Chain A
Amino acid sequence: MTVQTSARESYHPPYQVTNSAETIMRFPFPFPEDTYMYSMNVEPHVRSGPVAAMHHTFDIDEHYVAECAEKARILEQDPKRCIVLPHMREAEWDFVEFAMTCLSEQYPQHFSLRREGQDWHWVNRLLGYEQSFVFGDATTLPLPPFEYMARQMQGDFTLHDQREDDLWMDGGMVTSQADWSLKFDLGMSFRQWHAPVPKAAEMGVFDRGLRFLLMLQPGKPVRRLNWTMTINPRLDTSPENFMVWGPDRASVTPENVADKVHLRVELQTLYRMPRSNAILFSIRCYLMPVRDIMRVSKWRRRLHRVLRDLDPALSSYKGLDLYRQTVVDFLAPYDDGAPLSSGIQPDADQPESVLASVA
């Protein structure tokens, strides 16, 4: 994956985000079947999978620099997007070690890490950072350890303490969220922070999910895909800023639907941290406009079917009600109803040209 080394893109008005052909083809399209309902769709996070976005522990793509710049901008406006409770100090260092190790081993052209005992030296060539520090000594880093590293990664991260047979959201950095707030959820248990989700609790999804995660072992991470839709390429759809982005949901028309409406996919990965026994939850967000999804024939047909038949409770919870029908009507002429292969893989090597590009 080629990474741009300057932030030409903008995830806030005036929006300016474009996806290369490679980025479109590696998109983790979230629908393996023509219908969607909650399930325990958890699988081992091995370094392979039907799309390239799944081939690294932490995926770095062409938007890396722009996303890190957007994260810094949001943190400057609202520093409380990053909170870590004091009993998670060991988990902070777990995160630093894990992130630096994975990035330097899997992207040696962009990152490097030298370890001599507790004396570490970190280089991030994409952002131009170089830092010597003593592992375990927070005074040797310019920022608290978790914040220092989480700012250098795409996506959101939360840290979960395990006690009383439950998981507690006791830290995180959340700047690209689908309408939830770390400030509000901080300190909550697994069932508490999931309480707003309709239907899944009565299906037993959370009970099974929690039981599974309580037994997550070091070195055996898992992943799942989650999705919603977002108007404009806006990473920060937070409750704190609802007054800014909420009205956009009413701005979708048949003319602008292909460019305004984005499928928002979270590649969620979960890791047991070895020092602290905490769980690291990584939420890597991908935004793909309908215009780009149109360029993969399997995906455009499947997206039409899923949205058309979506359970009304899920549509409402995900905030799609104001524009879902507009998207379905736009996609309908491009769906011939032919059977599609199961799984999320695009079944093509290159994107097609379907719609004329916008001026």
Chain B
Amino acid sequence: MVERSGYPAVIAEVEVLTPTLRKFVIAAQGTRFPAVSAGSHVVLGFGDASRRYKNAYSVVSATPDGRELSVIVRRAPQSRGGSVFLHDQAQDGTPVTVLSSANLFPVVKTARRHLMLSAGVGITPFLAHARALEAEGADYTLHHFCRPEEKPAFEALLATLPPGRIFIHDRPPEDAGMKERMAAEGIATHLYFCGPEGFMGWVEQAADALGFVAAKVHSEHFFVPEGGRPFTAVLARSGERIEVAGDETLLEALERSGVDAPCMCRGGACGACALEVLDGVPEHRDHVLSEQEKAEGRTILTCVSRARTDTLTLNL
């Protein structure tokens, strides 16, 4: 798949929400952005002469005329540097390219009611969903969980939505009585959640224990690919050897070498980048492959996963 050149844009506004969260308004230069559905992410290309990044972020809002869209980025110092670049160096006028968009976390349009749970930066897809559901007159409730010192920032972020639909908790879901609230939901309610791994695990267990059927439980594991031990990717068809540095992903290394590798979400969530492994042992970090597939080690999602062995031979 040939990557389009994307939509050229600049950062038009930077808003500091909390010490670790910033909102970036991105303005189209020339061609309008296409419309995006609530729950979509965009892949942004940015960086400087020494390093280019391609990171996926949920779109929290977009203007109907296609001139602007906004994302919220959490500073993740242990990651490969994209978020640190945006936090420390991006300012008004910094060029950004909107490379692609996709929606891996839509709401179920036929659902009678939507219950949305988020923690930390996991709020981002729900900012778009809550506004869209509000505009439609749909039945929904959003519970957001954060640290006490962050509460005012999230209150400000959600201020335009009706207070009866939005609950912001500065305690963990267990202490906030979330399980009891979930138990009180009717059978037609669809449950959506997004947040850090510990939070995700809690909601998954609670939903399971309360008997929510899988078809009505929807989650998005937001996920910043992290670095790790360097290794060598060997392309079986060409024999080419590509060094994957500790602070880049396998996908980035393939792209840097001019390999036309498939990809979509860049966060281990969609499975579009799956490649066959012919030799070596993958270190799986995705949310797509089944436990059995991970144990077999024949497939790797290049956007997040790495190698346990010094080399990894790919059917490419």
Taking Cβ atoms with an 8 Å cutoff, the residues of A that contact B are 44, 87-88, 90, 94, 97, 117-118, 136, 161-164, 215, 217-220, 272-277
Residues of chain B contacted by A136 (CB below 8 angstroms): 64
Nearest residue (CB) in B for A217 is: B102
A217 in contact with B100 (CB, 8 Å)? yes
If A215-B272, A217-B102, A220-B1 touch, whether A274 touches B36 (CB-CB below 8 Å) is: yes
Q: In the complex, how many angstroms separate the beta carbon of B56 from the nearest chain A beta carbon?
A: 12
- Please choose the segment from B12-20, B106-114, B194-202, B306-314 that sits at the chain A interface, where 4 or more of its residues have CB less than 8 A away: B106-114
Known: A163-B108, A218-B100, A272-B102. 12 other contacts (CB 8 A): A87-B110, A94-B35, A117-B65, A136-B64, A215-B264, A217-B100, A218-B36, A218-B101, A219-B100, A274-B35, A274-B37, A275-B37
**Interface membership of chain B positions 94-109, coded 1 if the CB is closer than 8 angstroms to chain A and 0 otherwise:** 0000001111001011
Q: How far, in angstroms, from A97 to B64 measured CA to CA in the complex?
A: 12
B106 and A217 contact, CB distance less than 8 A: no
Query: In the complex, are the beta carbons of B64 and A118 less than 8 A apart?
Result: yes
Q: How far is the CA of A310 from the CA of B100 in the complex (A)?
A: 42
A163 and B34 within 8 A (CB): no
B34 touches A274 (CB 8 A): yes
Q: Is the CB of B106 within 8 A of A163?
A: yes
Q: Does B215 contact A (CB under 8 A)?
A: yes
**B62 vs chain A, min Cβ distance (A):** 10
Interface of A is mostly: loop
Task: Look across to chain A and name the residue whose beta carbon is closest to the beta carbon of B190.
Answer: A163
Task: Tell me if B270 counts as interface (CB < 8 A to partner A).
Answer: yes
- Does B51 have its Cβ within 8 Å of any Cβ on chain A? no
A320 to B110 CA separation, bound complex (whole angstroms): 40
For chain B, what secondary structure do more than half of its interface residues adopt (helix, strand, loop), or is it mixed?
A: loop
- Chain A contacts of B36 at CB under 8 A? 218, 274-275
Binary CB contact string for chain B from 25 to 39 against chain A (1 if under 8 A, 0 otherwise):
000000000111101
> How far is B33's CA from A219's CA once the two chains are assembled, in angstroms?
11
Contact between A275 and B106, CB atoms less than 8 A apart: no
What is the interface residue range for chain B against chain A? 20 to 34
Report Cα–Cα, A161/B65, bound state, in Å. Answer: 24
User: What mask results when residues 229 to 271 of chain B are scored 1 for a CB within 8 Å of chain A, else 0?
Assistant: 0000000000000000000000000000000000010000011
Contact A164 B215 (CB under 8 A): yes
17 pairs from A and B in contact (CB 8 Å cutoff): A87-B109, A87-B110, A90-B37, A94-B35, A97-B35, A136-B64, A161-B110, A163-B106, A163-B109, A215-B102, A215-B272, A217-B101, A219-B100, A220-B1, A272-B102, A273-B37, A274-B101
Contact B270 A277 (CB under 8 A): no
Residues of A contacting B37 in the complex (Cβ-Cβ under 8 angstroms) = 90, 273-277
Residues of B within 8 A of A276 (CB): 37
Residue of B nearest to A276 (CB): B37
Q: What's the nearest-Cβ distance from chain B to residue A134, in Å?
A: 12
- Least Cβ distance of A56 to chain B in Å? 19
Check if A277 sits within 8 Å of B103, measured CB to CB: yes
Also in contact, A164 and B108, with CB within 8 A (given A217-B100, A217-B101, A217-B264): yes
Interface assignment of B181: CB less than 8 Å from any CB of chain A: no
Question: Closest chain A residue to B100 by CB distance?
Answer: A217
Please give, as numbers and ranges, the residues of chain B lying within 8 Å of A220 by CB-CB distance: 1
Question: Chain A residues with Cβ under 8 A from B109's Cβ?
Answer: 87-88, 161, 163
Closest to B6 in A: A219
**Complex A-B, nearest 8 residue pairs according to Cβ-Cβ distance, in ascending order:** A87-B109, A274-B35, A277-B37, A275-B35, A277-B103, A163-B108, A274-B34, A277-B106
Complex Cα–Cα for A217 and B272 (A): 11
Contact residues in B for A164 (Cβ distance below 8 Å): 108, 215
Determine the chain B residues whose CB is within 8 A of the CB of A88 once the complex forms.
109
A215's nearest neighbour on chain B, judged by CB, is B272
Q: Which of B4, B65, B264 contacts A219 (CB 8 A)?
A: B4
Q: Residues of B contacting A272 with CB < 8 Å?
A: 102
What's the least CB distance linking B292 to chain A, in Å?
Answer: 18
State whether B108 touches A219 (Cβ < 8 A): no
Rounded to whole Å, the gap between the CB of B201 and the closest CB of chain A is 22
Q: Which residue of B lies closest to A166 (CB)?
A: B215
Q: Name B36-71 residues within 8 Å CB distance of A.
A: 36-37, 39-40, 64-65
Q: In chain B, what residue has the closest Cβ to A88?
A: B109
User: Chain B CB within 10 Å — which of A44, A97, A164 has the most?
Assistant: A164
